[in-house]
């Protein structure tokens, strides 16, 4: 395997949005330790839904951590900040060199369809891509519990393949894993993001001082009937792999917008 410093052992930056103590990041690190040097830089507390937020109005505290797992000693930094803070800090401050890949996850819950855009897990990988590093986000299709270890072989295969074939600048992979046992994973399918939205509703509650507060709830609405989406692949037991990029430009609108002659 060729790496950015020419050694055989790639340097893998691991982050997430569920927090450094979440089971998913431990599973991801355990899966990848056999194929690279993993360095974990992750939020000290859960940051799900943080999307691409960064901390700019107060200092970011960070603490070195080291813990023993069944696979070996994991080294890292726990950051009181967002997933994107973690990736930026790791690359600027904590890593001995530019990593060969940024991986994020394994998230508790799918980051498919429109969930992709709210996800701190995806944004950690997206930040890697913006900084010119190959990046992959991993999420498990289970909102609670689930088997984070069933996909180990696939995770290693994906990460090895991406290191050997770096992604074009600005592109990342969004990988969603079905919550089934290893032998029931059908394989990997390249998909596109399903069109969808959340039908929002908020619950109004009253705090002890008699002031109202609101808690977001909502219902997920799939607006996409295509057979080639992330949602369909996941539902059928495939690992869904969607290439993403940070350029949000609606390129197909360029001409019609020009034609409006503002």
Q: Which residues contact 13 (CB under 8 A, 6 or more apart)?
A: 39, 41, 87, 90, 91, 95, 99, 101, 102, 103, 128, 133
Is position 116 an interface residue for Mn ion (rule: CB under 5 A)? no
Q: Which residue sits closest to Mn ion, CB atoms considered? A: 48
Q: How many residues bind Mn ion (CB under 5 A)?
A: 4
Residue 191, SS3? coil
* The one segment of 41-49, 56-64, 148-156, 190-198 that binds Mn ion by CB under 5 A: 41-49
Residue 13: closest CA among 23, 32, 21: 32
Please report whether residue 141 would count as binding Mn ion according to CB under 5 A: no
Rounded Cα–Cα distance for residues 18 and 11 (Å): 22
3-state secondary structure of 81: coil
Q: How far is the CB of 209 from Mn ion (least distance, A)?
A: 31
Bond before 106 cis per omega within 30 degrees: yes
Q: For Mn ion, what does the binding mask look like between residues 45 and 64, x meaning CB under 5 A?
A: ---x----------------
Nearer to Mn ion by Cβ, of 17 and 37: the residue is 17
CB of 189 to Mn ion, least distance (A): 23
Q: Does 18 bind Mn ion (CB under 5 A)?
A: yes
x-or-dash pattern for Mn ion, window 75-114, by CB under 5 A? --------------------------------x-------
256 class by beta-carbon count within 10 Å (0-12 exposed, 13-18 middle, 19+ buried): exposed
In the complex, the residues that contact Mn ion under the rule CB under 5 A are 17-18, 48, 107
């Amino acid at each position: 395997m060729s790496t950015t410093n020419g050694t055989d052992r790639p340097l893998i930056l691991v982050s997430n949005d569920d927090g450094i103590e979440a089971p998913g990041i431990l599973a991801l690190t355990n899966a990848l330790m056999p194929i690279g040097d993993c360095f974990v830089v992750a939020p000290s507390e859960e940051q799900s839904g943080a999307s691409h937020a960064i901390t700019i109005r107060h200092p970011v505290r960070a603490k070195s951590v080291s813990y023993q797992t069944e696979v070996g000693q994991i080294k890292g930094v726990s950051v009181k900040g967002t997933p994107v803070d973690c990736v930026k800090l790791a690359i600027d401050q904590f890593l001995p060199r530019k990593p060969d890949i940024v991986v994020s996850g394994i998230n508790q819950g799918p980051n498919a369809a429109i969930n992709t855009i709210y996800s701190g897990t995806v944004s950690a990988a997206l930040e890697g891509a913006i900084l010119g590093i190959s990046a992959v986000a991993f999420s498990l299709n289970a909102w609670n519990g689930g088997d984070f270890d069933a996909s180990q072989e696939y995770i290693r295969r994906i990460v090895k393949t991406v290191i050997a074939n770096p992604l074009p600048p600005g592109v990342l992979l969004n990988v969603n894993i079905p919550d089934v046992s290893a032998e029931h994973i059908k394989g990997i399918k390249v998909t596109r993001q399903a069109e969808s939205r959340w039908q929002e509703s908020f619950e109004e509650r009253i705090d002890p001082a008699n002031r109202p507060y609101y808690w977001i709830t909502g219902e997920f609405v799939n607006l996409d009937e295509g057979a080639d989406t992330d949602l369909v692949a996941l539902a059928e037991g495939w690992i869904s792999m969607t290439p993403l990029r940070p350029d949000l430009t609606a390129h197909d609108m360029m001409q019609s917008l020009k034609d409006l002659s503002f």
